[in-house]
């Protein structure tokens, strides 16, 4: 054999002892993420009875099952759009604030406490005798308490409480990444506030907003505990994760459960790809300062 | 910074602040409702309860066997933190320092669990774990929780390691440091701030991780958040104040670690990927 030894040739391609350090983590992920995924895929194609497509045929043939897609989208899409629509203007104001830390700390609370805690709190807060109805009655906006729990609006509120801070904090981190000199330049050249937003900031923000939308949507789409606790899990808030959970762990049909879980991932992927695909029509390039 | 003085700008600014204030008020009221109710003797249709008591904490502690639940929660969470810390930092080190064929694919593999909803990969994974006999066991819960935690550590650590100058390591080698002493005396001290931040975030996230733990936890391996879910789910069986007392115990546990974590990280980092490491 002529030429350098194998070890040298591999090192030239970036493969040496240090590269091998990825192996433990990689093996773990392959064993517990990639393998179960393919296991679930095969499992979903080998139903308890019927042909290989029986689970999918069952899902799309039974309104009790396929309606969950619509129910989930009907919750997740409006909530995500509202969260983002509020997050952008609020983040634009907060970026000018000197003491952001207190506000961001308060807003990180519902995210860290999680949906179960928020659902428990909202059950009391939004209940017929809770503070929310009590306040509206005291002000005189309402004559009778409105029902806000165990229906669509309860889940909606819980997604708002956890989803808005999430969208806001992500948007804020994107906005702070834009060099303020760009705005000053636009103002110097005579752009008013509306123009500065629509002609300068928005185009720079679109890629970040698309990612924020996707991440916020993924969270809202995966709604599970609050849909059970705060919603009507047999009715309008029977979301797809409830269907998947019930199939796999209540009817012990893990084959159907895996199929629904995969359909859930598929629907979500369609929305995410549509949003990220639309992103490519906008400017993509550096917007930060010298730090990059 | 530019501040506009026009009337429309002022109205707009006021509307935004009013909206943000309203949201924060509602958010704080939701949390306060839980705390107030947990101390209430009776609370029906008034602004504040009829009387105050701490008895619900004692009854909740006994009814929900909170001493064992809290213990199990910490055992699980710390094991998850240690495993994802060791695996995550080594993986992140290799990914930050080397360019190799298929690196993009590996990075994508570590991104996916953070983008896919937990139930989508959790149901097949839980099925596999049940068939291995790990369903309901301590290690089953730990393994399923490492799946999202490990990628999180990797993605937080990669930019942190990239900003450590590789020449420092080269210099240590020149002066005769072996791999062990290079790691212990050079790398570890430099990595410590980033590791601390990443692991504290994993800790907070794992305490609140409901979906995955819920799929696999058995009666003896429930974490606090899963017990809380079952308690709220079966509300009506027990007094609401008792459930809220448990929720407060859960809240205090989470907030304790959140406060520590916030000493090292920016709140935005809890949702966003670390842009600039905390130790800068």
pLDDT in tens, B100-119: 888 889 999 998 888 888 88
**Positive or negative: CA dihedral A52, A55, A60, A63:** positive
Cβ neighbours of B216 in A, within 8 Å: none
Q: What's the domain range around A13?
A: 1-45
**Do A259 and A147 belong together in one domain?**
yes
Q: Which of B20, B101, B250 sits opposite A13 (nearest CB)?
A: B101
Which letter does DSSP use for residue B175 in this model?
A: T
Rounded CA separation B188/A130 (Å): 52
pLDDT in tens, A141-197: 888 888 888 899 999 999 999 999 999 999 988 888 888 888 888 889 988 888 888
**Do A163 and A216 belong together in one domain?**
yes
- Which pLDDT does position A286 carry in this prediction? 63
Which residues make beta-bridge pairs with B40? B52
- Which pLDDT does position B91 carry in this prediction? 93
Rounded CA separation B244/A230 (Å): 15
Closest Cα to residue A147, out of A165, A122, A184, A171?
A122
Asked if the structure places residue A290 within a domain, the reply is no
Rounded CA separation B231/B247 (Å): 10
Asked if the structure places residue A25 within a domain, the reply is yes
Contact of A183 with chain B, judged by CB distance below 8 Å, is answered with yes
- Which pLDDT does position A157 carry in this prediction? 94
Asked if the structure places residue A177 within a domain, the reply is yes
- Which pLDDT does position A289 carry in this prediction? 54
- Which pLDDT does position A204 carry in this prediction? 86
Cβ neighbours of A259 in B, within 8 Å: none
Rounded CA separation A273/A94 (Å): 30
**Do A38 and A107 belong together in one domain?**
no
Asked if the structure places residue A94 within a domain, the reply is yes
Rounded CA separation A56/A260 (Å): 8
**Do A142 and A257 belong together in one domain?**
yes
Cα→Cα distances A276→A170, A209, B117, Å: 16, 10, 17
Residue A109: helix, strand or coil by DSSP?
helix
Residues B228, B247 contacting (CB under 8 angstroms): yes
Cβ neighbours of A179 in B, within 8 Å: none
pLDDT bin (cut points 50, 70, 90) of residue B274 is: very low
Residues B196, B203 contacting (CB under 8 angstroms): no
**Do A96 and A147 belong together in one domain?**
yes
Closest Cα to residue B152, out of B212, B195, B121?
B195
- Report the pLDDT averaged over residues B6-16: 86
Cα→Cα distances A84→A112, A285, A288, B166, Å: 20, 22, 22, 40
Cα→Cα distances B139→B67, B130, B144, Å: 20, 11, 8
Cα→Cα distances A144→A136, A137, A150, A156, A258, Å: 9, 7, 17, 21, 44
- Which pLDDT does position A83 carry in this prediction? 95
Rounded CA separation B98/A17 (Å): 10
A&B contacts, CB < 8 Å? 278
The residue among A45, A83, A114 with the most chain B CBs within 10 A of its CB, best to mutate, is A114
Q: Given an 8 Å threshold on Cβ–Cβ distance, is B128 in contact with A35?
A: yes
Q: Which of B110, B116, B258 sits opposite A29 (nearest CB)?
A: B110
- Which pLDDT does position A288 carry in this prediction? 62
Q: Which helix (H) or strand (E) holds B108?
A: helix B103-115
Asked if the structure places residue A53 within a domain, the reply is no
The residue among A117, A150, A172, A241 with the most chain B CBs within 10 A of its CB, best to mutate, is A117
The string of DSSP letters for A162-220 reads HHHHHHHHHHHHHHTTS-HHHHHHHHHTT--HHHIIIIIIHHHHHHHHHHHHHHHHHHH
pLDDT bin (cut points 50, 70, 90) of residue B277 is: very low
The residue among B118, B120, B122, B149 with the most chain A CBs within 10 A of its CB, best to mutate, is B120
pTM for this prediction: 0.88
Q: Given an 8 Å threshold on Cβ–Cβ distance, is A169 in contact with B268?
A: yes
B222-245: burial string, b at 16+ Cβ within 10 Å, e else: bbbbbbbbbbbbebeebbbbbbbb
Instruction: Give the CATH number for residue A170.
Output: 1.10.3720.10
Asked if the structure places residue A173 within a domain, the reply is yes
**Do A94 and A165 belong together in one domain?**
yes
Question: To the nearest whole angstrom, how far is the Cα of A180 from the nearest Cα of chain B?
Answer: 8
Asked if the structure places residue A115 within a domain, the reply is yes
CB atoms within 10 A of CB B12: 16
Instruction: Pick one of 3.30.43.10, 3.30.1330.10, 3.90.230.10, 1.10.3720.10 as the CATH number of B55-271.
Output: 1.10.3720.10
Q: Start-end ranges of CATH 1.10.3720.10 in chain B?
A: 55-271
Rounded CA separation A186/A175 (Å): 16
Rounded CA separation A198/A193 (Å): 9
Q: Given an 8 Å threshold on Cβ–Cβ distance, is A106 in contact with B24?
A: yes
Residues B156, B273 contacting (CB under 8 angstroms): yes
Residues A119, B228 contacting (CB under 8 angstroms): no
pLDDT in tens, B169-184: 889 889 988 888 888 8
Contact of A132 with chain B, judged by CB distance below 8 Å, is answered with yes
- Report the pLDDT averaged over residues B15-25: 92
- Which pLDDT does position B273 carry in this prediction? 54
Closest Cα to residue B94, out of A24, A29, A13, A22?
A22
- For B80, phi then psi, to 5°, come to -60, -45
**Do A105 and A229 belong together in one domain?**
yes
Structure tokens that stand for A188 in this block: 């110097």
Number of domains comprising chain A: 2
Which residue in chain A has the smallest CA separation from B44? A129
The interaxial angle of helices B103-115 and B138-162, nearest 10 deg, is 130
- Which pLDDT does position A291 carry in this prediction? 46
**Do A36 and A172 belong together in one domain?**
no
User: Which positions of chain A have pLDDT values less than 50?
Assistant: 290-292
- Which pLDDT does position B278 carry in this prediction? 35
pLDDT bin (cut points 50, 70, 90) of residue B35 is: very high
**Do A79 and A200 belong together in one domain?**
yes
- Which pLDDT does position B79 carry in this prediction? 97
pLDDT at residue B203 tops 90: yes
**Do A123 and A241 belong together in one domain?**
yes
Q: Given an 8 Å threshold on Cβ–Cβ distance, is B120 in contact with A265?
A: yes
**Do A68 and A41 belong together in one domain?**
no
- Owner of token pair 């590996």: B106
- Which pLDDT does position A49 carry in this prediction? 81
Residues A213, A275 contacting (CB under 8 angstroms): yes
């Amino acid at each position: 054999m002529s030429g350098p030894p194998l070890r040298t040739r591999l090192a030239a391609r970036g493969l040496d002892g240090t590269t091998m350090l990825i192996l433990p983590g990689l093996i773990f992920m392959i064993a517990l993420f990639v393998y179960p995924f393919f296991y679930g895929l095969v499992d979903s194609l080998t139903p308890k009875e019927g042909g290989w497509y029986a689970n999918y045929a069952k899902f799309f043939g039974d309104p009790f099952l396929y309606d969950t897609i619509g129910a989930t989208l009907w919750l997740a899409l409006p909530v995500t759009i509202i969260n983002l629509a509020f997050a952008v203007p609020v983040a634009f104001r907060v970026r000018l604030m000197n003491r952001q830390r207190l506000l961001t700390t308060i807003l990180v609370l519902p995210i860290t406490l999680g949906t179960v805690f928020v659902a428990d709190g909202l059950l009391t807060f939004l209940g017929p005798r809770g503070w929310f109805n009590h306040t509206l009655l005291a002000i005189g906006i309402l004559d009778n308490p409105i029902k806000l729990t165990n229906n669509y609006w309860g889940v909606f509120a819980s997604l708002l409480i956890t989803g808005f801070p999430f969208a806001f904090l992500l948007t804020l981190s994107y906005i702070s990444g834009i060099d303020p000199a760009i705005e000053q330049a636009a103002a110097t050249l005579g752009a008013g506030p509306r123009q500065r937003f629509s002609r300068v900031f928005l185009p720079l923000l679109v890629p970040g907003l698309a990612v924020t939308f996707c991440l916020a949507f993924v969270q809202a789409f995966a709604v599970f505990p609050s849909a059970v606790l705060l919603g009507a899990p047999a009715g309008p808030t029977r979301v797809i994760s409830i269907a998947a959970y019930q199939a796999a762990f209540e009817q012990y049909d893990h084959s159907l459960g895996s199929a629904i879980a995969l359909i859930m991932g598929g629907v979500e992927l369609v929305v995410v790809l549509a949003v990220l695909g639309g992103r490519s029509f906008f400017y993509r390039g550096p917007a930060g300062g010298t730090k990059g | 910074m530019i501040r506009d003085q026009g009337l429309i700008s002022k109205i707009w600014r006021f509307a935004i602040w009013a909206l943000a204030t309203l949201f924060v008020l509602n958010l704080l009221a939701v949390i306060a409702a839980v705390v107030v109710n947990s101390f209430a003797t009776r609370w029906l249709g008034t602004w504040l309860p009829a009387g105050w008591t701490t008895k619900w904490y004692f009854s909740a502690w006994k009814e929900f066997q909170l001493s064992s639940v809290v213990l199990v929660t910490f055992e699980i969470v710390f094991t998850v933190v240690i495993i994802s810390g060791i695996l995550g930092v080594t993986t992140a080190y290799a990914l930050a320092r080397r360019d190799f064929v298929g690196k993009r694919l590996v990075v994508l593999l570590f991104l996916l669990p953070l983008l896919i909803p937990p139930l989508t990969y959790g149901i097949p994974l839980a099925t596999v774990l049940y068939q291995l006999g790990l369903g309901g066991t301590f290690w089953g819960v730990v393994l399923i929780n490492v799946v999202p935690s490990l990628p999180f550590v990797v993605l937080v650590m990669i930019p942190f390691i990239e900003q450590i100058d590789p020449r420092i390591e080269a210099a240590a080698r020149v002066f005769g440091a072996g791999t062990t002493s290079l790691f212990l005396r050079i790398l570890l001290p430099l990595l410590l701030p980033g590791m601390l931040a990443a692991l504290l975030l994993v800790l907070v996230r794992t305490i609140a991780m409901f979906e995955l733990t819920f799929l696999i936890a058995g009666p003896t391996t429930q974490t606090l958040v899963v017990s809380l879910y079952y308690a709220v789910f079966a509300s009506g069986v027990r007094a609401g104040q008792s459930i809220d007392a448990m929720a407060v115990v859960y809240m205090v546990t989470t907030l304790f670690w959140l406060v520590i974590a916030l000493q090292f990280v920016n709140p935005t980092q809890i949702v966003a990927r670390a842009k600039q490491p905390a130790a800068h």
